Amino acid sequence: MPNSPTFFQLDSCTSSLVIANPATGPVLTWFGDRLNAQISAEMLSCHDDTAHAFATLDARAPLTLFPQSATGYMGSAGLIGHRQNSGGASHLVCQQIIQSGNSITLTYKDNAQALTLVKIITLDQQSDVASIETTLTNDGPDDYNVAWLASATLPLATHLSQLISQHGRWGMENQSHQRNIGPGRIDISNQHGRTGHAHAPNLICASEDLSVDCGDCLFVHLGWSGNYSFKVERLQDGNGYIQAGVLLQPGEEVLGSGESLHCPPVNFTAGTGLNQCSQRFHRFARNNILPAWTRQPRPIHANSWEAMYFDLNDTDLNALVDAAAKIGAERFILDDGWFINRRSDNAGLGDWMVDESVFPNRLAPLAKHIRSHNMQFGLWFEPEMVNPDSKLYREHPDWVLQHNDIETPLARNQLVLDIANKTVADYLFKHIDQLVSEYQIDYIKWDMNRDLVLAGDGKNSRANKQPPAVYALMQRLIDAHPKLEIESCASGGARCDFGVLKHTGRVWTSDNIDPLARASIQQGFMRFFPPEIMGAHVGHLHAHLTGRSTNLHTRAIIALQGQFGFELDARVLDENDVATLHHYTSIYKAHRAWLANATYWQLPTSYEQLYANCLVSESMDEALVSIVVLDSLQATRPGCQRMRGLQPDKRYRISMLSNNLEQLIPFNKVMPEWCSNDCTSTGELLTRIGLSLPVMPPQSALLVHCVLEPS
C-alpha cells in the first residue's frame, strides 16, 4: 500500500480506536478511553510490540485483525477453507485501507486462491460501541469450501486475565461463570441452532480487580441467532485474543464463483467496570438495533399460558380478560392452544387455522371482548415448527429440516420447518398474515421450543441458512403490518441477540418467573440488553417451574425491572391481591415514560444473597431502586445500600414505593425512619454512604423511589 497512512484513528464520545498498518498487516493498537494527545506514526513505533524470542519462527507472526496460519500465526486463523483438489492454505494480504467518517474499510486479496475479504470497522459516536463486519468473496471459477470464517478477532491486553461467560439452561438463563484465561484455548461453541439457553453469545474479558464500578473490561457480542463459536486464548508469546464467528457444519457453506459469505457483526466496547460497558450496549441497542416502537411506553401484558394452558374456551377466556383488566393489564395474549387439534403439545403445529370446535365463532368474539377493555390483542405462534401429527406434515414431510435416511429426533413432539425454502416461508406468511389482518392483531408472541438437530435439506447441512430466513419472514410480516410488534420467545430466553432484535423488540427472558431465580436471570440479561425489552411477569404464589412460594410484593418488584406483566390466573385473586397488583401497575404506568430510556446500574452489595439495581432517568432527576434478599444474610442487618447515577450536588426525596411495610415490621425492633416517612438526602451521600435498609427476611424485596427536590 504505497503512500498510504501508517495508522487510522476513530473517535467517539469517550473512546478512541487506533489501527496501525505495519507491513505485517493491520493491527488493533488501541481501543479504550479517548486519546487526548495528537498521535503520530513515530509515537506508535514506541508501542509496536516487535520483540522476538528464540525457539520460534524467524519471522514474527503478529496478532492482526485477520490472523492467518500462512504467516506462521499459531492461534485460531481467521479463515479455514479450501478448493476441491487444492491445498487449504491461503494468504490474504491487505491491499487497501479507507477511512470514511466513523468507519474504516480494509480490503484483503489472495490472488493465488482468488479470494477477496472485506472488513468494515465502525465506532458508534453516541454509545462507544464498535462493530466489525466481515465478507468473503470467491473470485475463482470453481467452488470454495468454507469451514470457518471469523467475524472478528480482537486482541486481549496482558492484564485482561479473567473471562466471564453467560451460561445456563432452560429456566435458568444468563448465569455468570468466571474463570482464568490460562494456557490452552477456551472454546465456547453453541450447536443448538438458535442462540441457546446453554451459552449466550456474550463474553467479558477483564482485569482481576473487576467490579460494577472498577477494573478494565472488554464486552463482546455476536449478533447471530444460530450456531456460533467463541475462542479465547493466551498464546505462548503472550498474545491473547478473542475470536467469534458462525460455527459451520461440514459442507454447509460452499461459495460458488462470484458468491459471497457475509458474517454477522461482532459488537464490542472497552471500559471501566461492568456498569459502564452495560450502559454503552444499552445505548447502542436503543439507537441502532431495536425497533422504533420500543422507545414508546410499553403496555402491561397479561398472558393466558400459566392461567389456562391448553384448556381454552370463550367463557373462561372472557372471565380471564375481565380479571386481567381489573389489575391493570393493557394487552392480552392468547397463548398456545387456539388452532386446530391443539389440545396438547402432541399435535397441530403447522396448521395455523382457528379450531372451531373450541371457538365456534372463531376469535372475533374474544378479540372484541379484549378491545372492550381498551386492551390490545396478542396471539401466540410457533411458525418454525411442525408436529408430525398435523395436516401440514402429512402433506409436506419434505418441508422439514432433515438428512435423508436418518430419523430426526423429536423435541416437544415437533420437527423444524425449513424456512429458507421459499415455498415454506410463503405458506407461513400467508397464514399468519391472514390472521393478523382478520383480527387486527397487535402483537405476536413468536416462540421456538426446540433445538435444531440434523438441520439439512435432505442432503446438505443448512443450519446457518435458518436464522436469516427467520429474520426475513419476520420483516416481511412487519412490512405488511407496520404497527405489528413481535416478541422473541424460545422456551424463554433461548433466542436473544442483536440479529433477531432488529426485528423484535421484546424478549421473553425465561420461562421461569420465580422471582428469586429471576433476580440473577434478569441481572445477566441486562449486562448486554436494555431492561425495557425484558419481559418480566408477576407469576402465581407457587412458581410453576420451581414450586417455590414467594409473596406478591417480591414477585411484583422483580417484575418491575423490565416490561411489566402477568403470568397468573387473575380470576382467583382475592381483594387484597387485586389491590396490591393494582398498586404496582400504577407505579409502572406512572414511570414507564422515562423507563424506556433509563440508565441501568447494578448496585454493589455487601452480601451475595442481596441483589440490588436502580434505573435512573436520562435527566438524573428520578430513580427506581429495587432490592431483594434471596436468603438469610450473614449479618443480622443489611446495613446501607449505596446508590449510583444520581447527581451528587442535588437533593433527592426518598420514598418507599413497595407497600409491604407490615411484612417487614415483625423483623425490626427499630425501622429506619425513611421507611414510613419520606426523607431527603443528596446524591453524593446516597452514593457514598448509602440508604440504610431495614432488616429484611429471606425472599423479601423493597422498591424505593428517588426524585429530585425542587430548587
Please state the separation of Cα 519 from the chain's center in Å: 16
CA proximity to 497, closest of 292, 243, 205, 195: 195
- The single-letter DSSP state of residue 383 is T
Q: Which residue in 216, 442, 511, 514 is the catalytic one?
A: 511
Residue that is written with C-alpha cell 408430525 in the block: 388
Rounded to whole angstroms, the Cα distance separating 233 from 473 reads 38
Long-range contacts of 683-687 (CB under 8 A, 24+ apart): 683/620, 683/643, 683/646, 683/647, 683/648, 683/649, 683/650, 683/651, 683/652, 684/648, 684/649, 686/642, 686/643, 686/646, 686/652, 686/654, 687/642, 687/643, 687/644, 687/646, 687/648
Helix pair 364-372, 314-326: axis angle to 10 deg? 20
Alpha helices in 440-551 (DSSP H): 466-480, 515-525
| Exposed / middle / buried, residue 569 (Cβ in 10 Å: 0-12, 13-18, 19+) | middle
Helix pair 552-559, 575-595: axis angle to 10 deg? 20
SS3 at position 399: helix
- The answer to whether 171 and 544 are in contact (CB under 8 A) is no
Amino acid in the structure at residue 440: Q
C-alpha cell at 287: 439507537
Residue that is written with C-alpha cell 435527566 in the block: 619
Q: Which residue in 336, 355, 418, 447 is the catalytic one?
A: 447
Rounded to whole angstroms, the Cα distance separating 98 from 495 reads 35
Alpha helices in 37-156 (DSSP H): 41-45
* Annotation marks residue 48 as catalytic: no
* Annotation marks residue 139 as catalytic: no
Which of the residues are catalytic?
447, 511
